[in-house]
Structure 1
């Protein structure tokens, strides 16, 4: 698998999924080692030079310290450079927040699409988010990756039964390996609400997509959680457009999302 080196020397692994068309970089969300976006990338690879990378601390990418969101922006800059110097961006969940931060920082980005970025928009959820960040830091500082994952799943609206099922599933060890990167996702999302002053700096066209309801695995979230977050972010962006799919799914179906992205990125 190819790698690039970020400004701080951290090695970042990526895959090329297409050879023709404009460059398109996929940015993964929480607990994703690059596999979650791959089906979407394969769907889009017929019309784009898709690059699907592993964010730092995930898969075969390094984890240079100390961490800062600025380092992740530099990682993405290195990936864009390897993709040809300019690219469209697609970001899933917290990866969407990182994509928007990268655009605000002035990276050579054309169009940006983000799916269900979990910004917090009401006082109760903002308070819950800030408590989660404190508890997550304490759990990871103590080396308790199981607790960190449990905190994250509760925040995401999973039931205790869902959490117990995940802990007993074969995937749990892989999630434990990724648990330290939950700090990174939290840092990308900041204090919780959309960062309106930075979003105002994003001059590129931005597409914000959501499902009509929350994913069944996130049933504990408010019904329009992601829709409200997307609406608030769109209000702060100079050139935003919204689309709501008639199905739920925090990991969007490539057959549903892919055609919309193809049209949007084509301008």
Structure 2
């Protein structure tokens, strides 16, 4: 993997595939650059696709203490490395990061997100506060595996599957990144959609959710699209939070190539 230094000196590991207009894939909680590789391969025939390890994950550094601004600077550094502007697709908390980056002025041509985990509404905010408290207690006492289990259960992974995952080789890698769950928790704030901040997201935005995702996730995606100045909402039939790359790749290819962007960025 290649590496680039963020503004605070943290090393961010990334790789790119393909040629054409640049598209950065921003992973969600416990994701690495490798998680985005299947989607990157599908987009690479048309775009220059960048996948990266967000700070604290994989081969990237972890300059502390965590702040949302540092992650925005990480993404800005990657965008600068591919020509100073790019489009972006963020999954889960990575979608929230993409929107925060655009709101902060990072030059993003187009933004697409899949189910950023905002929890609007009084019940959702109470639930988020409860999860934050439990996560802090688990990490505070060093129970990194417990923190991963909490995250997986909150995102709808059945308990029997979690038990199988604990016995799989991938488990140690998830536990190694457990502390970054607190990063994403901080990124999302109290769980409400920051409508005032996102009023600055004036670029065209696509908010996607799965048709088979839980009702709160679908309602949250709709509320997010309504809060953004130039967003449209799309439902992918049959998709869940575990998004299939082959289902979203055609949607992203069409969106990122709209209005001649494909030809303009390639010339």
Quote the residue 1:72 is aligned against.
71
| Alignment-derived partner of residue 9 in structure 1 | 9
Alignment RMSD, CA only? 1.2
Contact 1:88 1:111 in 2 (8 A): yes
CA distance in 2, matches of 1:96, 1:168: 30
Count of matched residue positions in the alignment of Structure 1 and Structure 2: 258
Which residue of 1 is the match for residue 178 of structure 2?
Answer: 179
Summarize the alignment of residues 247-258 of structure 1 with structure 2, pairs less than 5 Å apart.
247-258=238-249
Contact in 2 for aligned 1:90/1:99 (Cα 8 Å): yes
> How far did residue 168 of structure 1 move?
2.3
Q: Secondary structure at the match of 1:4?
A: strand
Take 1:197 and 1:31, find their aligned partners in 2: how far apart are those partners?
28
Equivalences for 1:119-198 in 2 at 5 Å? Answer: 119-198=118-197
* Cα distance in 2, alignment partners of residues 157 and 104 from structure 1: 30
Aligned counterparts of 1:252 and 1:172: Cα–Cα separation in 2: 20
Deviation at 1:204, TM superposition (A): 0.4
CA distance in structure 2 between the partners assigned to 1:130 and 1:161 by the alignment: 26
- Partner of 1:234 in structure 2? 225
**Cα distance in 1 between the residues matched to 2:51 and 2:45:** 14
TM-score computed with the length of structure 2 as normaliser: 0.93
Q: Per-residue displacement from partner, 1:206-257 (whole Å, max 9, x unpaired)?
A: 001111012xxxxxxxx32221111111111000011101112323222221
User: Deviation at 1:154?
Assistant: 2.2
Deviation at 1:131, TM superposition (A): 1.1
Q: Distance in 1 between matches of 2:206 and 2:72?
A: 20
Structure 1 segments (4+ residues) deviating >4 Å: none
Runs of 5+ consecutive residues of structure 1 not aligned to the other structure = 215-222
1:103 corresponds in structure 2 to: 102
**What's the offset of the Cα at 1:55?**
0.3
Gaps of 5+ in 2: 259-267
1:220 corresponds in structure 2 to: none
Q: Which residue of 2 aligns with 1:219?
A: none
